[in-house]
């Protein structure tokens, strides 16, 4: 005679409920770890417990090595948008505002968000897999046994480099995107470079530039903290490293979209 408890445990409803419950627990655990590790990292950064050489190494990794792919993505996005919009605007008599539209689009949105996506795929995944590998090979345990705080040693230079380098990357990528838009406009319409670049500054205010830099700053910190935390929480072997990397990428994507939404509501709603 099967009891109700046994029947319930074998049912599809129970199994589906269990999967959702586990995912909820995983969500709460991951979110908690990101908050706790982020707070500990910021505490070290505020108290200036930073090693310049390690910070420089991470800045080179975060900024210089990721620049080609970031420029490629922002540049290509700019070409795609300009090639579709510029000729239509010229036809409708709005040719003098192509530069304005592109600069607004890139400075307010495309530059930071596309750079964020590029950094997540290149640097975020690399940070998560590096720290996850250190976790599963007991290197992080070794750091703890040697009485060094892994948060200070691993998180601080990586997160600080994200905070410093992301605005730099976004400024360079945005400038590149605006220039690429100008070249595309000149190649696909009868509008010249001058008409395009004359209108670039018409709609850009200091507020836009400030918001762009602040957004980049938040994106950089968020990507680095999420990636390091997901790697730090890894367990098991190769599968654990893979899961941690996937989680870091997904959470970072969601993180920067949430930041983007917050900035849009706060400054442009």
Partner 1 sequence: MSIKVNNLIKSFDGRKVLDGISFEVADGETLAVVGFSGSGKSTVLKLICGLIEKDSGDIITSEGDVAMVFQYSALFDSLNVADNISFALRERRDLRNKYTEAELKDIVSKKLELVGLKGIERKFPSELSGGMQKRVSFARAIVTEPKTILYDEPTAGLDPISSTLIEDYIVRLQQETNAASIVVTHQMSTIQRTANKLIMLYDGKIVFAGTPQEMLRQDNEYTKQFVTASLEGPMHMLTE
Whether 243 contacts 234, CB under 8 Å:
yes
Binding of residue 40 to partner 1 (CB under 8 A): no
Binding of residue 138 to partner 1 (CB under 8 A): yes
Calpha distance 180→33 (Å, rounded)? 41
Calpha distance 186→181 (Å, rounded)? 9
Output the six-digit token pair for 47.
């108290």
Whether 161 contacts 257, CB under 8 Å:
no
Among 1, 46, 147, 206, binds partner 1 (CB under 8 A): 147
Query: By CB under 8 A, what part of segment 149-208 binds partner 1?
Result: 153
138 vs 198, beta carbon nearer partner 1: 138
Output the six-digit token pair for 43.
């505490």
Among 19, 64, 76, 148, binds partner 1 (CB under 8 A): 148
Binding of residue 145 to partner 1 (CB under 8 A): yes
Binding of residue 53 to partner 1 (CB under 8 A): no
Centre a 10 Å sphere on the Cβ of residue 201 and count the other Cβ atoms it contains: 11
134 vs 230, beta carbon nearer partner 1: 134
Among 35, 36, 60, 142, binds partner 1 (CB under 8 A): 142
Interacting residue ranges for partner 1, rule: CB under 8 A: 134, 137-139, 141-148, 153
């Amino acid at each position: 005679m099967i009891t109700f408890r046994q029947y319930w445990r074998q049912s599809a409803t129970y199994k589906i409920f269990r999967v959702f419950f586990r995912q909820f627990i995983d969500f709460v655990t991951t979110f908690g770890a990101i908050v706790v590790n982020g707070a500990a990292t910021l505490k070290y950064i505020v108290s200036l417990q930073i090693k310049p050489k390690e910070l420089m190494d991470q800045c080179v990794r975060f900024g210089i090595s990721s620049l080609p792919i970031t420029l490629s993505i922002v540049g290509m996005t700019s070409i795609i948008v300009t090639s579709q919009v510029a000729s239509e605007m010229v036809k409708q008599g709005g040719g003098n505002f192509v530069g304005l539209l592109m600069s607004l689009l890139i400075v307010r949105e495309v530059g930071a968000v596309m750079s964020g996506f590029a950094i997540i795929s290149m640097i975020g995944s690399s940070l998560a897999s590096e720290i996850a590998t250190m976790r599963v090979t007991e290197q992080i345990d070794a750091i703890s046994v040697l009485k060094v705080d892994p948060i200070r040693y691993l998180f601080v230079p990586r997160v600080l480099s994200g905070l410093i380098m992301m605005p730099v990357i976004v400024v360079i990528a945005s400038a590149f995107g605006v220039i690429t838009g100008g070249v595309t406009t000149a190649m696909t319409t009868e509008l010249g470079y001058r008409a395009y670049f004359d209108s670039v500054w018409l709609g850009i205010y200091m507020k836009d530039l400030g918001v762009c830099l602040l957004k980049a700053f938040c994106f950089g910190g968020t990507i680095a903290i999420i990636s390091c935390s997901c790697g730090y929480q890894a367990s098991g072997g190769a599968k654990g490293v893979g899961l941690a990397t996937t989680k870091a990428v997904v959470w970072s994507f969601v993180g920067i979209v949430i930041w983007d939404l917050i900035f849009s509501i706060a400054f442009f709603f």
